[in-house]
Chains A and B, each alone.
Chain A
Amino acid sequence: MTLTWTAHPARRRPDQLALVVAVLLLSAWAVLVTLESPFLALLAVVFLVLSIGSFLFPTRYQLDERGVAQRRFLGSRFRPWDELRRVQVGPGAALVSPFARPSWMDRHRGFVLYFDGLDAEGKRQVVELLQVRVPA
């Protein structure tokens, strides 16, 4: 069974995108005014954009027989099922972690699978597959 979907919150939530753009412009302006450096202002915007990449850019997820794959604009990651040890399901996303116990590196070493772009049935299938594949 293969489940594939693309999460792109920015496209589906234009109100939040507008807020993000406002924060980016405000940050760039603040850096430009205080440090008087267009380069640093640009750098600030780049850092902010990269840090909220999961919101701004589409992320393609694929769950198949082998494991979990995630592809975003700057690269892709894959982990086989046998390396994943814990699943936590929230209302908007599921955390799949290689750590058996909660760790502050969960998000970094594991995956946060956003349900954005999935209907209720799709979300149910994803959660079911995760719970079957990753032992509790």
Chain B
Amino acid sequence: MTTEADLTEAERALLDELADGIARRRLTPAALFFLESMKPMGYLGSQMMLFLRPIVGIVWASPDRWDRLQAILEKRGSIELLLKRLEARA
């Protein structure tokens, strides 16, 4: 399982930013429900993001955040770290 210590400073900052964005839009309960139910599919989600990367590259000039998020999701248990951030903001 991935812990906070396994993430880099940039990855932790990205998760914080993501959780802040969700909380600001008042989507925390919906995001919690979605992430909790999709938790076992985290790795599959990261591979789907990888598959969609060429299309995303057309829409966004520099999708580095997409790549960073994909790299985080690839680590098993990383969704739990996002869930804990959302809990703290709920």
A83 touches B84 (CB 8 A): yes
The answer, yes or no, to whether B63 is at the interface (CB within 8 Å) is: no
Give the Cβ gap from A104 to chain B, nearest Cβ, in Å: 7
For chain A, what secondary structure do more than half of its interface residues adopt (helix, strand, loop), or is it mixed? loop
Q: What is the interface size of chain B, counting residues whose CB is below 8 A from a CB of the partner?
A: 9
The answer, yes or no, to whether A1 is at the interface (CB within 8 Å) is: no
A105 touches B84 (CB 8 A): no
Q: What is the interface size of chain A, counting residues whose CB is below 8 A from a CB of the partner?
A: 11
B29 touches A103 (CB 8 A): yes
Interface string of B72-90 (1 = CB under 8 A from A): 0000000000011001101
The answer, yes or no, to whether B32 is at the interface (CB within 8 Å) is: yes
B36 touches A103 (CB 8 A): no
Residues of B contacting A101 in the complex (Cβ-Cβ under 8 angstroms): 90
The answer, yes or no, to whether A109 is at the interface (CB within 8 Å) is: yes
Residues of B contacting A98 in the complex (Cβ-Cβ under 8 angstroms): 84, 87-88
> B90: nearest residue on chain A (CB-CB)?
A99
Residues of B contacting A25 in the complex (Cβ-Cβ under 8 angstroms): none
Interface residues of A (CB under 8 A from B): 83, 85, 98-101, 103-105, 108-109
Q: What are 12 A-B pairs with beta-carbon distances under 8 A?
A: A83-B87, A98-B87, A98-B88, A99-B87, A101-B90, A103-B90, A104-B29, A105-B29, A105-B32, A105-B36, A109-B83, A109-B87
Interface residues of B (CB under 8 A from A): 29, 32-33, 36, 83-84, 87-88, 90
